Chains A and B, each alone.
Chain A
Amino acid sequence: MSEPQLKHLLGIEGMDRETALRILDTSSAFLEITRRPVRKVPTLRGKTIINMFYEASTRTRTSFELAGKRLSADLVNFGGSSTSVSKGETLRYTAATLDAMHADVIVIRHRASGAAQYLADRTRAGIVNAGDGMHEHPTQALLDAFTIRQHKPSLEGLTVAICGDIAHSRVARSNALLLPLLVARVRLAGPRTMLPPVPEALGCEVYDRLEPAIEGADVVMMLRIQLERMKGASFSTLREYSRVFGLTRERLERTHPDAIVMHPGPMNRGVEIAEDVADGPRSVVLEQVESGVAVRMAVLYLCASEPGQSRE
């Protein structure tokens, strides 16, 4: 069979266009399920999914949890303050433990870049990267692309502006890899201190001001200022950041009239995005949440149903 297979989803890097489209198309079928009276299908009955979150995350973890449950998989959350994660067990030993539990898919979020790959090399389970350090967050990029597809006839030729802390953002990175694969043009914008050292490496247009980046854009994606990561090093005050890089209604005028506004959440209202833009008619933030469950169902389905995958 020539259909693209998905054993792991570690990142967008190295993914081909066909696979990306395959995941997005499969997601459409799952979106339909999340809107039915009975939002559950028996497809992954008997499969075990382990949600392993080494970093605090309510949204992504809940989204994966719902996705797994709607596919009838047995889903276990592993992580939090009372487990071996906080008792200093190494990832390597944890991997061996999970293998012994015969997990079919492990969803992992970890502060270290490359954690998902590390696990993939050491377990038999399919690994889904739910965010690793400053590396990638592939399901977020896929759900963003999926949400854009719900609003625009095609991603081809669209201009997507991604604004915020580009250098530290795995969301920006995964999007900067995925969107060009779907023939969209990506512009990155942020203060110089938040741009990658070699911006050209991502192959996108890079701006150190918001206005030129969103000029005529079809999609504006605002990133969360990660206060916990910054410690004030990259900009002087939140107010200053908001004044220069916050998306306000006035700035939104510069975009394409049909432009949509996205944010991976949770939003710092009044910092990177103004209250009235966050809740405005152009905002598709809540749709991103809905798409997230559908896309994660598709990813879990494709990773768990890979044929010939021996679990014994």
Chain B
Amino acid sequence: MEICGNPRSLTEGSTAEPAACYTAAMRELLDADSVSRGLRRVAGEIVERARGVEGLVLVGVRRGGIPVARELARWLKELEGHDIPVGSVDITLYRDDAATALPNPRIGPSEIPCALEGRHVVLVDDVVFTGRTVRAAIDALMDYGRPRRIELAAVVDRGGRELPMQPDYVVKTLEVGRDTRVDVIEDGAGLHAFVQPMSAPSVPLGEST
């Protein structure tokens, strides 16, 4: 993930000037430590509910979900001692507005590390908002095989659903209006969640719809 400006300046003490792409209106919702601990809790919940990691695959939704999936895999390994396969899915071609609304978006690769037939897939995203991304991601996954079960994990559930999609595992739930954007950003210290007005000029990372 690339971030414009120097994201490190945020972590080197509060006196540092925010880097170019961070706006004054940006407020930190979760610091790197909170996200990391939250994901450890989520990893525990996954293992508890599934009684282990048998057949488990993590699939991050491009691009924001990928570092979250990797972090989750680290915690799962610590808990259970197994390497969990981590993949990614690009939903561009599965969006419900793919052919009308987008000015020729870049399509990223989908990397599914193993056959999904009969596997337990945990779809991982950074922020759950309208639920349209999740719908698209589920459709995309189905084209790779028929998983036994698909669950959804996210760092932030910000409300505002337009489709009946609910995450099974969440680090933080909050209700914010449509005029507000929630982003999860990765930098040297880890993953942070930020809240800022939708009108803010910078677009740090992939969308979080």
Q: In the complex, which residues of chain A have a beta carbon less than 8 angstroms from the beta carbon of B102? A: 305, 307
- Judge if B145 is at the interface, Cβ distance under 8 Å: yes
- Judge if A32 is at the interface, Cβ distance under 8 Å: yes
Q: In the complex, which residues of chain A have a beta carbon less than 8 angstroms from the beta carbon of B109? A: 28-29, 32
Say which residue of A5, A36, A301, A307 sits within 8 Å of B101 (CB atoms): A307
Which residues of A in the span 1-26 have a Cβ within 8 Å of any Cβ on B?
Answer: 1, 3-6, 22, 25-26
- Judge if A38 is at the interface, Cβ distance under 8 Å: yes
Which residues of B in the span 69-124 have a Cβ within 8 Å of any Cβ on A?
Answer: 90, 93-94, 98-110
Q: How many angstroms between the C-alpha atoms of A43 and B136 in the bound complex?
A: 11
CB distance from B104 to the nearest CB of A (A): 5
Q: In the complex, which residues of chain B have a beta carbon less than 8 angstroms from the beta carbon of A183? A: none
Give the size category of A's interface with B.
20 to 34
- Judge if A45 is at the interface, Cβ distance under 8 Å: yes
Contact A42 B103 (CB under 8 A): no
Interface of B is mostly: loop
Say which residue of B103, B140, B144 sits within 8 Å of A307 (CB atoms): B103
Contact B143 A43 (CB under 8 A): no
Known contacts A28-B109, A29-B90; A47/B99 CB under 8 A: yes
Contact B104 A305 (CB under 8 A): yes
- Judge if B31 is at the interface, Cβ distance under 8 Å: no
CB nearest neighbor in B for A104: B99
CB distance from A144 to the nearest CB of B (A): 21
Which residues of A in the span 75-92 have a Cβ within 8 Å of any Cβ on B?
Answer: none
Interfacial residues, chain A to chain B (CB-CB below 8 A): 1, 3-6, 22, 25-26, 28-30, 32-33, 36-38, 40-47, 71, 301-302, 304-307
Interfacial residues, chain B to chain A (CB-CB below 8 A): 90, 93-94, 98-110, 139-140, 142-145
Query: What are the 8 tightest A-B residue pairs by CB atom distance, in nearest-first order?
Result: A29-B107, A38-B143, A41-B93, A1-B103, A43-B93, A43-B98, A305-B99, A307-B103
| Other A-B pairs, 9, CB within 8 Å; known A41-B94, A307-B100 | A3-B103, A5-B104, A28-B109, A32-B110, A36-B143, A36-B144, A37-B145, A43-B98, A46-B99
